[in-house]
Amino acid sequence: MKDNFGREINYLRVSVTQRCNLNCLYCGSGSPDLAEMTVDEISRFVKAFAQCGINKVRITGGEPLLRTDIVEIVSALSEIQGIEKLVLTTNGVYLKKYAGDLKKAGLSAVNISIDALDREKYKLLTGRDCLPQVLESIDEAERAELKIRVNAVLIKGQNDDQAGSLIELAKDRKIDVRFIELMPFSDTGKNEKMIVKGNEILERFPFLKPVQSKKTGFEQSVARYYEAVGFRGRIGLITPVSDKFCDNCNRIRLLSDGKVRLCLGHDDVIDLRRCSDDNLLEVVKAAIMSKPKGHEFNCGYANSHAMNKIGG
């Protein structure tokens, strides 16, 4: 359905946990709230969203693969009428174990977050020495025929030297590698000097040439894509800070405790756990209608939550 500003809202991001097994420099802070939705709650709420025109769901967190019932969650969501595309974002540490079962349960694609391909640097950024597991998970996801994208956040002076090797991942494999600008969540993110803007990447890698986007519906993406001669995958730039895309925003978020968050840049939430079966659909419709026009990210931005709590 369309919101108050005429935007077609068809994409729901569902956080299934605030827990994470990594401790990324710019992401998590504070202890997680454990009031996680059950599979039945997730299914009940997503059904209401599907009745309002949501056709794409991304499962995220925290780290969604910490939920031991993750395959059950995917299976339940894949059975909901109207959900045509079901995808998941993960740090990849446990993906090797789950890739085949997730695919069988109805998952079509995974976004894997990797901010460095240098093992020591990965360890410094995430607090864990898990890069080898993540790379094995990519191989397993390929074997399971899941579509793969790699997402990276570059931070000045920390891992901006990793951009070239991350781009190389798209050379021989059909993997899109996307760079997301650091957003002002957590203390690191609030320091504007740390952000590597999309344009800086294009200046450093002039062989990247824009791809014309023909995508519509749930295929439409917030990333601007670039290609390079001889590369099988593409390079994407996601620029929420230097070039925000609120006018085309098609998404809404369901947090791990059953609250709806309408915009990444606004803290207001609506608690679906308080809804009865009689008023759930009306509350979801009203929530979509009240999605804000947009947000401003700047250094003084006072967001009270880190990404692991909102669901990145």
Size of the site for ligand SAM (CB under 6 A): 21
Using the rule CB under 6 A, give the single segment among 175-183, 201-209, 219-227, 297-305 that binds ligand SAM: 175-183
Examine residue 198 and tell whether it contacts ligand SAM (CB under 6 A): no
The nearer residue to ligand SAM, 17 or 250, going by C-beta atoms, is: 17
Using the rule CB under 6 A, give the single segment among 19-27, 42-50, 207-215, 287-295 that binds ligand SAM: 19-27
Q: What angle do CA 138, 141, 142 make, to 5 degrees?
A: 85
**Shortest Cβ distance from residue 93 to ligand SAM (Å)?**
9
Using the rule CB under 6 A, give the single segment among 77-85, 89-97, 207-215, 246-254 that binds ligand SAM: 89-97
Examine residue 122 and tell whether it contacts ligand SAM (CB under 6 A): no
Examine residue 233 and tell whether it contacts ligand SAM (CB under 6 A): no
Examine residue 308 and tell whether it contacts ligand SAM (CB under 6 A): yes
- Near ligand SAM by CB under 6 A: residue from 60, 75, 239, 303: 60
Rounded-to-integer distance, Cα 222 and Cα 284, Å: 24
Examine residue 153 and tell whether it contacts ligand SAM (CB under 6 A): yes
Examine residue 265 and tell whether it contacts ligand SAM (CB under 6 A): no
Positions touching ligand SAM (CB under 6 A) are 20, 26-27, 60-61, 63, 89-91, 113, 151, 153, 180, 182-183, 185-186, 189, 307-308, 312
